[in-house]
Amino acid sequence: MAQTGPTELSVTETPIPGLLVVRLPLHGDSRGWFKENWQRAKMTALGLPDFGPVQNNMSFNAARGATRGIHTEPWDKFVSVATGRVFAAWVDMRAGDSFGATYSVEIGPDVAVFVPRGVGNSYQALEDGTVYSYLVNDHWRPGFAYPALHLADPTAAIAWPIPLDSEEVEISAKDLANPTLAEVTPMQPKRTLILGAGGQLGRALAAVFPDAEQVDRSRLDITSAAAVEAWPWHEYDVVLNAAAYTAVDQAETDAGRVAAWTVNAVAPALLARVATEHRLTLVHVSSDYVFDGVIPTGSTDEGHTEDEPFSPLGVYGQSKAAGDIAAATTPRHYVVRTSWVIGEGNNFVRTMAGLAGDGVSPKVVSDQIGRLTFTSTLADAIAHLVRSRAPYGTYHVSNAGEPLSWQQIAAEVFELSGRAREDVSATTTQEYFAGAAAAGRPISPRPLNSVLSLAKIRSVGFEPEDQLEMLKGYLA
């Protein structure tokens, strides 16, 4: 037996979004044939999703005419035939514009099909002793209901090679009782989960992910292994972790050190583990504090780059660096580092605006430089990464424009508030914290250069707005 079927592996699209037909070369001789039924590297290179199968099932059909389906499982599957031939038909049961779309193809050993979650599948054996197998990327759970469709549904109008009323056809009583398409409740897509929803970034994320579920620590304690393990992660596909311990000075105390490491390091490690287990996309938000504020010698970038080695100065930065490492252990991750965040609630800009309105002329540090990051920009960047399916990895995000010191930003706020820029005087970081240090209050060391390179986030098509333009709108 010589080579039969296609000579090269190929993947083609169908009218149902995400349903892909795979043509498999068969290598044969007088003894029979051999095929690479599932070859992750080759198939994903051709566009098949890297769907992470966890179970392999086999279905034996004793006689021609055995007909199964139409079943809509809540997982992805890769279907192929070991021996014999089947007629296979699919109906899109997902909510959306493609609901009700159909596609059919005859499958033998040289054809396989990738079936995305929410697409109903059915099979009719065309030969006696047919065996087909399917890889799935989730385990079956008892009591879990999902949509089904009658094999003779008039809307789908599947052209069965062996008519369903033929004496050859055998259908289970359960499949005969399936509803018509008009009676089916479409399968909803998996959801997005926002952690730390009550914070300023969490609120901004809710605005750009309006259908996301929002939770805070009172509902899901992400520092508890038991609580994380018990959460129904199979209902989600994207997790946005905006929860963080941000009291940088309190992190230098005994209690604060424990709290910072628990929230900023332990929690991302727990989330990374479930993200790997459930094939979730994990977005974890980090900080410029993972760096010491010194741009490496010889760097040609405008600021800290994503691949710069960690060099945190204080406990807060150390805990955030540990969280970065933990989050990056799951394959589908975006670690988004940011700096000088401004959103709803108390922040530097609102404090300066309040002082301007109260007639106060403050001293502000002039030896720390960076760029503001408005939470709306940060949320938009995260949405861009997720929705554009940018390459997984670490990205730096801040607003754009010339880097400024805190004193220069305060002067901008004063001018926009109707005060003179000169009403904000300059001081150094050491001078500013001298009183607190003398009084024994905890002070965390600050990086003096918090400028983050924006080259990588720009390379995937996101252009942050200028920080001073955003500042004008924010104060307005």
Predicted local distance difference test score (pLDDT) of residue 300: 66
pLDDT tens digits for range 247-262: 999 999 999 999 999 9
Among 134-143, 237-246, 359-368, which stretch is predicted with the lowest mean pLDDT?
134-143
Q: For residues 196 and 323, state if they share a domain.
A: yes
What separation in angstroms does the CA of 42 have from each of 37, 198, 283, 382? 11, 44, 28, 30
Which of the residues are catalytic?
71, 134
Work out the mean pLDDT of the chain and round it to a whole number. Answer: 94
Say how many residues make up the chain. 476
Average pLDDT over residues 401-420: 97
Q: 């993200």: which residue's tokens?
A: 275
Q: Beta 425-427 vs 363-365: how paired, if at all? A: parallel
Which pair of structure tokens corresponds to residue 54? 């966890």
pLDDT in tens, 53-79: 999 999 999 999 999 989 999 999 999
Residue 3 forms part of a structural domain? no
**Domain count across the chain:** 2
Residue 4 lies inside a defined structural domain of this protein: no
365 and 262, same structural domain?
Answer: yes
- Same-domain pairing of 463 and 326: yes
Domain end point (choices 166, 183, 200): 183
* Dihedral (Cα; 210, 212, 214, 219), 10-degree rounding: 160
Residue 132 has pLDDT above 60, yes or no: yes
Q: 61 and 195 in one domain?
A: no
Look up the CATH number of the domain holding residue 100.
2.60.120.10
Q: What is the 3-state secondary structure (H, E, C) of the chain?
A: CCCECCCCCEEEECCCCCCEEEECCEEEECCEEECCCCCHHHHHHCCCCCCCCCEEEEEEECCCCEEEEEECCCCCEEEEEEECCEEEEEEECECCCCCCCEEEEEECCCEEEEECCCEEEEEEECCCCEEEEEEECCCCCCCCCCCECCCCCCCCCCCCCCCCCCCCCECCHHHHCCCCHHHCCCECCCEEEEECCCCHHHHHHHHHCCCCEEECCCCCCCCCHHHHHHCCHHHEEEEEECCCCCCCCHHHCHHHHHHHHHHHHHHHHHHHHHHHHHCCEEEEEEEHHHCCCCCCCCCCCCCECCCCCCCCCCHHHHHHHHHHHHHCCCCCEEEEEECCEECCCCCHHHHHHHHHHCCCCCEEECCCEECCEEHHHHHHHHHHHHHHCCCCEEEECCCECCCEEHHHHHHHHHHHCCCCHHHCEEECHHHHCHHHHHCCCCCCCCCCECCECCHHHHHCCCCCCEHHHHHHHHHC
pLDDT for the residue 301: 73
Say how far apart CA 245 and CA 316 lie, in whole Å: 8
- The predicted model gives 71-89 an average pLDDT of 95
- Is 219's pLDDT higher than 60? yes
Q: Are 286 and 324 in contact (CB under 8 A)?
A: yes
Note the pLDDT of residue 5.
66
Residue 233's contacts (CB-CB under 8 Å, 6 or more residues apart) are 274, 277, 278, 280
Please check whether residue 2 lies inside any domain of the structure.
no
CA 208 vs. chain centroid, Å, equals 14
Domain-embedded: residue 1? no
- Checking if the pLDDT of 44 tops 90, the result is yes
Which CATH number characterizes residue 229's domain?
3.40.50.720
Whether residue 229 sits in one domain with residue 174 = no
Residue 142 has pLDDT above 90, yes or no: no
Inside any domain, residue 235 = yes
Shared domain for 258 and 140, answered yes or no, is no
User: Does the residue 351 lie in any domain?
Assistant: yes
Q: Determine the structural domain holding residue 205 and report its residue range.
A: 191-475
**Residue 367 lies inside a defined structural domain of this protein:** yes
CA separation, residue 142 to residues 46, 116, 124 (Å): 35, 21, 26
3 has pLDDT over 60: no
Q: Assess whether 171 and 242 both reside in one domain.
A: no
Q: Do residues 144 and 223 both lie within one domain?
A: no
| Model pLDDT, residue 427 | 96
Same domain flag for 404 and 451: yes
Least confident of 264-278, 306-320, 429-443: 429-443
Instruction: List pLDDT tens digits, range 443-466.
Output: 999 999 999 999 999 999 999 999
Q: pLDDT higher for 334 or 346?
A: 334
- Digit-coded pLDDT (tens) for 93-120: 999 999 999 999 999 999 999 999 999 9
User: Which pLDDT belongs to residue 439?
Assistant: 85
Task: Calculate mean pLDDT across residues 405-431.
Answer: 96
Q: How many CA atoms lie within 13 A of 315 on its CB side?
A: 22
pTM for the whole structure: 0.87
Residue 323 confidence (pLDDT): 98
Specify whether 153 is located in the same domain as 280: no
Residue 440 pLDDT level (bands cut at 50, 70, 90): confident
Q: Is residue 5 part of a domain?
A: no
Q: Are 239 and 334 in contact (CB under 8 A)?
A: no
Instruction: Mark whether 119 and 220 lie in a shared domain.
Output: no
Structure tokens of 290? 């993972």
**Domain ends where: 161, 183, 205?**
183
> Which residues have CB under 8 Å from 183's CB, separation 6+?
none
- Same-domain check for residues 179 and 124: yes
Instruction: Fill in the amino acid letter for 138.
Output: D
Residues 10-21 pLDDT 10s? 999 999 999 999
Which of 165, 183, 201 marks a domain boundary? 183
Spatial separation of the C-alpha atoms in residues 198 and 210, rounded to whole Å? 14
Tell me what pLDDT residue 4 has: 61
pLDDT of residue 269: 98
Give the pLDDT confidence score for residue 302 in this predicted structure: 80
Of the listed ranges 3-7, 225-229, 311-315, 343-347, the least confidently predicted one is 3-7
At residue 145 the predicted structure's pLDDT band, cuts being 50, 70 and 90, is: confident
